[in-house]
Structure 1
Amino acid sequence: MGTEAVTAVRRAPRPRADALRNRERIVAAAREMFVEFGPDVPLDEIARRAGVGNATLYRNFPERAALVHEVVLSVMRRTTERAEQATAEEADTFAALSRFTHEAADERIGALCPMLSGTFDHDHPDLLAERDRLEEAVRGLIDRAQAAGRVRADVAVGDLMVALSQLTRPLPGTGCLDFDRFIHRHLQLLLDGLEAPARSGLPGTAVTLEDLRREP
């Protein structure tokens, strides 16, 4: 690399702290509004909730797809961190799984599913890397709990991910704020069903992550 190129690299400005904060506020506001109103919520409304001008939003995310991508990536990253923290901080393997399940529900994974349809790039390298990290963390929670005899043997990580997705998706005609009253109650019913010893046999076979990716 020549001297001029090195100098150019050294002079490349880092994003200012206030610019980073604005970007984080936009992503947080977009996540909230996508959950509440769906992926087609006006971007101007997102800017208003984030407390930034329209120009700031479009400077960071010139297209809706770029903002959707960042929101999905952020949710996946936050969910992974919750799994890793539960693993590190809970000595009881089933307590770790329960903590993660309830905390992951607060990310509203299911409510974000509509954003993953259409022209969304599911195979973007950033998303694939974060998906792998998330799946590894959740699989670790399940595997450890099963090895300790705390989770029934006839389930797999896909079963948990399907249930989380379904239970965190608002019912038609209901608002997310009303739905919040019920989600953790029903998640606890799910967790009671996962705990060993099993009280009944399950139809079919355990759902793997590969099953979830397989085309119908």
Structure 2
Amino acid sequence: MSQQPAPGGRRPANGGPRAAARNRAALVAAAREIYAEYGLDAPLSAIARRAGVGQGVLYRHFPERADVATAVLEENVRQVEEAAAAEGATLAGVLGVLTWSLTESAAFISLLHTEGAAGRPGAHAYARAMSERVERALRGRLPDDHPLAGGDDDLMLAVAMVSGAVTGPGREQRERRAVTAWRLLGVEVGPVRPFEG
């Protein structure tokens, strides 16, 4: 969502409370893109610019730098949960959504792993809670005879292994590596895309 400057180079008038939800969604989408391109240390001003809002709007929604990253991670987890809860959902389809999240938010992979959350009070507990939510969503669609149903840690170990393979400068390369990693683990993955309820 990008606001076009009004004549004279000024931004259009604030859209009030109705604009708040649009602005927040634009900021989360912009943060996902900026972090995937430049990593978690990217300037917040770049996120605001990409979203088409001022930095004041960004700070109203996300007072702390970590709040932006948390919002993107929360969106990723919510997508996986919604995909798993959808009528007719399959494990392959849910893994496709998870793989999209890993591919699009490569900079956030460490946040799914507790050890990557150091330096922020409560971050370990938060990262663990996010990881548990992903695991619950996946286990809800995991058939008893699936190769990842064997041990207690097999499922999330596989997710960690795939997330470790998600590297590269472009989204296409990251997606190709993730899908290859799933294939090498003998796991079928559906189309790599966001969940569209």
Deviation at 1:194?
4.0
Instruction: Indicate how the Cα distance of structure 1 residues 129 and 117 shifts in structure 2: closer, same or farther if over 3 A, else same.
Output: closer
Distance 1:19 1:122, change over 3 A: same
Deviations 1:60-115 (A, max 9, x none): 11220221222222222222222222xx314xxxxx12222122111126531345
Q: Shift of residue 167 of structure 1?
A: 3.0
Query: What does residue 117 of structure 1 align with?
Result: 117
TM-score by length of 2: 0.69
Which segment is superposed worse, 174-183 or 17-26?
Answer: 174-183
1:204 aligned residue: none
Residue identity matched to 2:139: R
Aligned to 1:167: 165
Structure 1: state its 5+ residue gaps: 1-14, 91-95, 196-216
**2:91 corresponding residue in structure 1:** 97
TM-score, normalised to structure 1's length?
0.63
Q: 1:101-155 CA deviation, whole Å, 9 max, x = no partner?
A: 122111126531345433232324xx6655443321211222xx22xx3546645
Larger Rg: 1
CA drift at 1:186 = 0.6
CA contact (8 A) 1:102 1:184 kept: no
Which whole-Å CA distance do the structure 1 matches of 2:60 and 2:50 have between them? 17
Q: Distance in 2 between matches of 1:176 and 1:123?
A: 31
Q: Any residues of structure 2 matched to 1:80-91 within 5 Å, and which?
A: 80-85=81-86, 88-90=87-89
1:105 alignment partner, SS class: helix
In 2, are the aligned partners of 1:27 and 1:70 still within 8 Å (CA)?
Answer: yes
| Displacement of 1:162 | 1.8
- In structure 1, the partner of 2:133 is 133
Instruction: Choose 33-42 or 131-140, whichever is displaced more.
Output: 131-140
8 A Cα contact 2:27 2:51, kept in partner: yes
Tell me the residue number matched to 2:176: 182
One-letter identity of the residue aligned with 1:22: N
Give the Cα separation in 1 of the matches to 2:34 and 2:131.
Answer: 23
The Cα RMSD (Å) is: 2.7
- Residues 33-52 of structure 1 correspond to what in structure 2 (within 5 A)? 33-52=34-53
SS at structure 2 position matched to 1:62? coil
- Distance in structure 2 (CA, Å) of the matches to 1:68 and 1:154: 33
Any gaps of 5 or more consecutive residues in structure 2? 1-15, 189-197
SS at match of 1:106: helix
Q: Provide closer, same or farther for how the CA distance between residues 188 and 69 of structure 1 changes in structure 2, counting only shifts above 3 A.
A: closer
The alpha-carbon deviation at position 56 of structure 1 amounts to 0.8
Q: How far, CA to CA, are the matches of 1:167 and 1:44 in structure 2?
A: 30
- How many residues get paired? 163
**Contact in 2 for aligned 1:29/1:49 (Cα 8 Å):** yes
Asked if 2 retains the 8 angstrom alpha-carbon contact of 1:39 and 1:114, the reply is no
Query: 1:3 — aligned with what?
Result: none
